[in-house]
Amino acid sequence: MELERINWFRFSSVQAVYPLAGTLIPWFAALAMLCMTAGLYIGLFAAPTDYQQGDAYRIIFVHVPAAWMSMFLYVVMAGWAGLGLGLNARPSLMMAQAVAPTGAMFTFLALLTGALWGKPTWGTWWVWDARLTSELILLFQYLGFILLQAAIDDRRRADRASAVLALVGVVNVPIIYYSVRWWNTLHQGASVSMTATPKMAATMVTAMLLMALGFWMYSIAVTLTRMRCVILERERQTSWVQEMKVS
Amino acid sequence: MGWGSLSGFLAMGGYGMYVWPSFGATALCMVWEVLALRHRRAVAFKEIAQYRRAEGGPQ
């Protein structure tokens, strides 16, 4: 009975998304700060030095979470894009637009911290192996999505074209993930997996997962903040935005 | 634990020049993104106000 009274289409309206996002942002931001503070503390003070890689391995606490987010956010972006295309839902397409820059940033960070890790452990900043190359392609996919959004003046066409681009490109995500298994790469295999016991000390795993959770919460907070900006920019002329108390 | 001293902590077992730029770049990007969004929001509100003035204010 109660369920019937809820209007499920309410949140497909940008006017409803705007205040909802505003309520959620501080919570996700606080969770992000909490997780990252704990993760940094454990990662830098409690986790032991690695017997093989020395303290260079500590780059893992930013590198792996950034790399995970780079792939995860792409799937999220493509998901919103697909939902937007399928249901012709404008807020979904706006969400895809809101996710892209954060995804691109984490892809860039994964590549940069990877280079900073590669130099002391492999002796080179960069190598054209399957993992690194496919991650670089992911960065170009994000940039392509952002540029396509900006290049087409007609908002509707820009949304649809970039959504198709995002959906087609999602095929690269499993390629990145399984690249270390499918090809003989210089990049090491997965350090943690759902099925096997971690190959690292418990404190190392804890710190890495806390950082990953922190990056995740950060991404939600930042994406929702950008969503609000996108709404304000696109709905400038509507009466509800015009009547909003400007703060 | 067991860094002993601050300089030992900063040295990161000789890998400080790789570890700290990694953490620093990540922190910098995140802070920059938050500030950029704050700016974007302010610009959006300014444009809303401009539009309102151009239209002669709300009804």
pLDDT tens digits along A197-214: 667 788 999 999 999 999
Return the closest-CA partner of residue B30 out of A76, A28, A218, A136. Answer: A218
pLDDT in tens, A26-41: 999 999 999 999 999 9
The SS3 of residue B59 is: coil
- Using the predicted structure, report yes or no on whether residue A180 has a pLDDT greater than 70: yes
| Contacting residues for B7 by C-beta, under 8 A, at least 6 apart | none
The ipTM value here is 0.91
pLDDT, residue A197, reads 65
| Residue A82 to residue A78: CA distance in whole angstroms | 6
Q: Work out the number of other CB atoms within 10 angstroms of the CB of residue A217.
A: 20
User: What does the alpha-carbon distance between residue A218 and residue A105 come to, in Å, rounded to a whole number?
Assistant: 12
Cα distance between the two ends of chain A: 39
Q: Do A54 and B15 touch (CB under 8 A)?
A: yes
pLDDT digits (tens, 9 = 90+) for B18-46: 999 999 999 999 999 999 999 999 999 99
Report the percent of chain B where pLDDT is more than 90: 69
How many other CB atoms sit within 10 Å of the CB of residue A4? Answer: 6
Contact A237 B51 (CB under 8 A): yes
b/e sequence A117-139, b meaning 16+ C-beta within 10 Å? bbbbbeeeeeeebbbbbbbbebb
* Beta strand segments in chain A, E: none
Nearest partner of B25 among A218, A118, A101, A63, judged by Cα: A63
- The whole-number average pLDDT for the span A84-112 is 96
Question: pTM score > 0.95 for this model?
Answer: no
- Name the residue of chain B whose CA is nearest to A43's CA: B1
What interhelical angle do A60-87 and B16-54 show, nearest 10? 30
Nearest-CB residue to A56 (from B19, B33, B47) = B19
**Percent of chain A with pLDDT strictly greater than 90:** 75
The overall average pLDDT reported for chain A is 91
